[in-house]
Structure 1
């Protein structure tokens, strides 16, 4: 993966960073914690400008959020509620649960997008609920850009400072990504079991 990322940036330059960061949002196995430090290292070598590296990283990250946002927007809350009422019982999920989740995102969505863009493992997935809850596009783009800028700056700067050891950034962050994903799965399973017990008790 590292050789492929480096090769693409060597051949395409700044456009390679842009493309990689777009793909990173659509295919999470391509990690930004490898892309941006590698680009930062290229800036440290004098092959690129650090400010432009960060700018390309932010642009790619923001552009990459749009497909999932529009998918969420097209699917919409009402369709999801109707689907949950019809088929959700197999997942102990109801239309009421969907509306509660949507209400939560309406209240806390800006903070979720802002800080979620800096959390490995869920940063790209937040675009779906943002679209489903019909978060206004300007607000979504602004908070996505701020969060992405903070994340891209931190990663690129780390690569710039670490130099040839830039790959240590991914080594440190990769376990965090796994912990976050495990925590999300555990929380989902716990919620599922709790709902199932409530339904059985109610029955």
Structure 2
């Protein structure tokens, strides 16, 4: 049955199921739903997280609990994918992604390419970009990235992303769905930051190399 909300309207479909899990299991339920979202990327985190905040606003659990457990769920889901990447290897992971509904091998290829170019930054900022937030754990596993670094960067990126959407859903209450309209803008900001950081790194590295070459030529 759809869940009634204060203004008489109802939550239906996936949103109703997610709220039902959260109300039944409490804050750990929010973490469970987010862990599932990490494993099945077509499920939208920018819908689930505001719903966790919305459910918290109804008194099912606290705001801090919602943020803590959704972040924990993100870490657990990311680690499952990391382990799969390490166990299966690139070719088998790519073949599996190709067979997933609404997914394509190209999605994995793009994520792998991003990871190859940006390394640790890809893990942190990738937690704030749909599809990438899940897929980025696979190449990290394939490449056997340092587990402690992977966990720390995943936790930090997830905490920021989750907090923004959970808090927005908490204070918007029945208007939680408004958050989704602005998700795209935030994602573009994240991508712009990554591009800026990469550009800064490249410029700094080129200047350093040129300076070293000048010093070597003077010595000669």
User: Is the TM-score greater than 0.5?
Assistant: yes
- Tell me the residue number matched to 2:3: none
Structure-2 change in CA distance of 1:154 and 1:175 (3 Å): closer
1:109 aligns with 2:122: no
SS at match of 2:158: helix
- Tell me the residue number matched to 1:150: 160
Deviation at 1:136, TM superposition (A): 0.8
1:33 aligns with 2:49: no
Matched positions, count: 157
C-alpha RMSD over aligned residues: 2.6
- Tell me the residue number matched to 2:26: 13
Q: Which residues of 2 match residues 1-203 of structure 1 at below 5 A? A: 1-76=14-89, 105=115, 108-173=118-183
| Unpaired stretches in structure 1, ≥5 consecutive residues | 81-97, 178-203
Separation (CA, whole Å) in 1 of partners of 2:17 and 2:185: 22
Separation (CA, whole Å) in 2 of partners of 1:163 and 1:21: 19
Deviations 1:147-176 (A, max 9, x none): 000011001011012111001223443798
Query: Structure 2-normalised TM-score?
Result: 0.64
SS at match of 1:123: helix
For the pair shown, the structure with the greater C-alpha radius of gyration is 2
Separation (CA, whole Å) in 1 of partners of 2:179 and 2:16: 16
CA contact (8 A) 1:62 1:145 kept: yes
